[in-house]
Amino acid sequence: MSAGRVVGGRYELAALLGQGGMGQVWTAYDQRLDRRVAVKLLRPDLVAGASAADETRRRFVRECRVTAQVDHPGLVTVHDAGSDGDDLYLVMQHVEGADLADHLAEHEPYPWPWAVAVAAQLCAALSAVHAVPIVHRDLKPRNVMVRPDGTVTVLDLGVASVLDHDTTRLTRTGSPIGSPAYMAPEQAMGGAVGPSTDLYALGVLLHELLSGNVPFAGSTALGVLHRHLYEPPLPVRQVRPEVPEALEALVLRLLAKDPAHRPGSAQEVYEALAPLLPVRGTPVGHPLDPTRPFLRPHAPWPDRAATPPPVHAQPPAPQWAPDPGSAPAPAQPDVAGAVDEAKRLLGEGRITQAVDILGAILPAAAERHGEGSPVVRILRKQYAATLMDDGQYRRALPELRRLAEERAAEAGPADPQALAFRHDAALCLEQLGDGPAALAEYRAVLPYFESPYGTGDPARAAEIRRRVDQLLRLTAIAGRS
């Protein structure tokens, strides 16, 4: 499988995010609806032998149906599923943000109110999952995304075990599904699993957020599972004394060896966490602050306009990295190829994909050729124009201002290209609702377009006068109201 392949007649694979267990996860583009998606593919090499192939296909079909059953904002939405040649595919919502493992690494020691907020949101999602009933069976930081507004999303219900008769037959393979560091004792023993299995994993995750380490680690999977079965966890207050006693007690209950000694449900865990959640009025800090949904519910997302969204925004549940020793040297940025590809995509109406291609290559081109090089300027110009075509005026504005400043510094303020950039920047300001700033910019460039000399452009001058008049009328109406 390779980037550029179109799956199911419409989903173009863009970048491999990871692989393991059941297959691969890719970022992709839905050519029909011009949007980013995540595509999970069944790895062909796993389908070996008729009996193994049949069970794997049944499990994959079950995965698609199970995941599509659950509708909750804390879970990834399923868009489509099907087969493509020898491969099976599942198309899911593309989620921006940082996975919880990276979030923890970037903010260690992790603030305990953040850990409480993450766990509370996970409880809400798990309650919906367990009501189906489904057991996730592989809850871990790599399967949790913290989005830019602080909301938490659970990824990969693909190894879920549906608690019905058919699923019981399908999962009798003799090997437990899950990650050893987060695996409950009953799961490690190949016994019956239930909602309390996920609550144990939640306890491991909470312990890791609070202490910086999973409670049970080891050099081998077998050694880790043995510790889950027989060793007590370290109380988190021994390494983080500021953690509330009630939170430490809850973590220890979640990590009970006997499922009967754990909290009875995700709802019960949520109720235990609720008194520890931050109250309204507490300042919100980092843009990916998981307390934000509790402090400012339904608030707009933080402004991310100045930076293009990364193509690899959604890490998958199964992480994978190539062997560093065999990794090829990074390829030089093909600016001309990127521009040509973006133009082709624009011609097909696939603006989102064109924006991502240009936004991804721009930093690499600037590093190689220099910010002020003609190559980078051409690329930035195409990027800004594409953002405007896509209606992303807030992201286009800083690019246009930069282009205008650089061009004016070289060729003077009356340079036609510098004026064109300033005109487009004024358009962005107008579309963003900043009438006074747009009006000031239009008035600043209008004399140049009205000039009888080289910079004159009667048609553009007439268009600007019309926009100025319209903005003045709107300002007058607003002043009377």
Q: Quick one: pLDDT at residue 46?
A: 57
Residue 86 CA to chain centroid, in angstroms? Answer: 29
Q: What proportions of the chain, in percent to the nearest 5, are helix, strand and coil? A: 50, 10, 35
pLDDT tens profile 117-159: 999 999 999 999 998 878 888 899 999 999 999 999 998 775 5
C-alpha 44/C-alpha 51 separation (Å) is 14
**Is residue 427 over pLDDT 80?**
yes
**Is residue 302 over pLDDT 90?**
no
Count of Cβ atoms closer than 10 Å to residue 57 Cβ: 14
Among residues 140, 141, 35, 34, which one has the least CA distance to residue 98? Answer: 141
Q: How confident is the model at residue 81 (pLDDT cuts 50, 70, 90)?
A: confident
AA letter at 264 = G
Q: How confident is the model at residue 301 (pLDDT cuts 50, 70, 90)?
A: low
Superfamily, domain 335-480? Tetratricopeptide repeat domain (1.25.40.10)
According to DSSP, residue 278 is labeled: P
Parallel, antiparallel, or unpaired for β 78-84 and 87-93? antiparallel
Write the CB contacts of 130 (distance below 8 Å, at least 6 apart in sequence): 195, 198, 265, 266
Structure token pair of residue 219: 């050099």
Q: Quick one: pLDDT at residue 132?
A: 81
Q: What is the mean pLDDT of the chain?
A: 83
Q: Quick one: pLDDT at residue 313?
A: 42
**Is residue 403 over pLDDT 80?**
yes
Parallel, antiparallel, or unpaired for β 23-30 and 6-7? unpaired
Q: Which of 79-93, 326-340, 406-420 has the highest mean pLDDT?
A: 406-420
Among residues 16, 2, 81, 32, which one has the least CA distance to residue 352? Answer: 32
Residues 95, 97, 98, 104, CA torsion sign: negative
C-alpha 322/C-alpha 328 separation (Å) is 10
Q: Is 138 a catalytic residue?
A: yes
Question: What are the b/e assignments for 233-262, b being 16+ CB within 10 Å?
Answer: bebbbeebeebeeebbebbbbbbbbebeeb
One of 87, 138, 149, 415 is an active-site residue; which one?
138
Q: Quick one: pLDDT at residue 404?
A: 94
Domains of the chain by residue range: 6-94, 98-278+285-295, 335-480
Residues 3, 95, 138, 204, CA torsion sign: positive
Which of 125-139, 258-272, 273-287 is the least confident region? 273-287
pLDDT tens profile 150-203: 999 998 775 554 344 344 334 434 445 668 999 999 988 888 889 999 999 999
Q: Quick one: pLDDT at residue 255?
A: 98
Report the C-alpha dihedral over residues 87, 93, 96, 97, rounded to 10 degrees.
-90
**φ, ψ for residue 14 (rounded to 5)?**
-115, -55
Share of the chain above pLDDT 90, in %: 46
AA letter at 58 = R
Q: Quick one: pLDDT at residue 308?
A: 42
Average pLDDT over residues 249-253: 98
Q: Quick one: pLDDT at residue 446?
A: 92
pLDDT tens profile 444-476: 999 999 887 766 788 899 999 999 998 888 777
Share of the chain above pLDDT 70, in %: 81
C-alpha 208/C-alpha 371 separation (Å) is 42
pLDDT tens profile 220-245: 999 999 999 999 999 999 999 999 99
On whether the 98-278+285-295 domain is CATH 1.10.510.10, my answer is: yes
C-alpha 132/C-alpha 125 separation (Å) is 12
Tally DSSP H helices, then E strands, for the chain: 17, 11
- Architecture of the CATH domain 6-94: 2-Layer Sandwich (3.30)
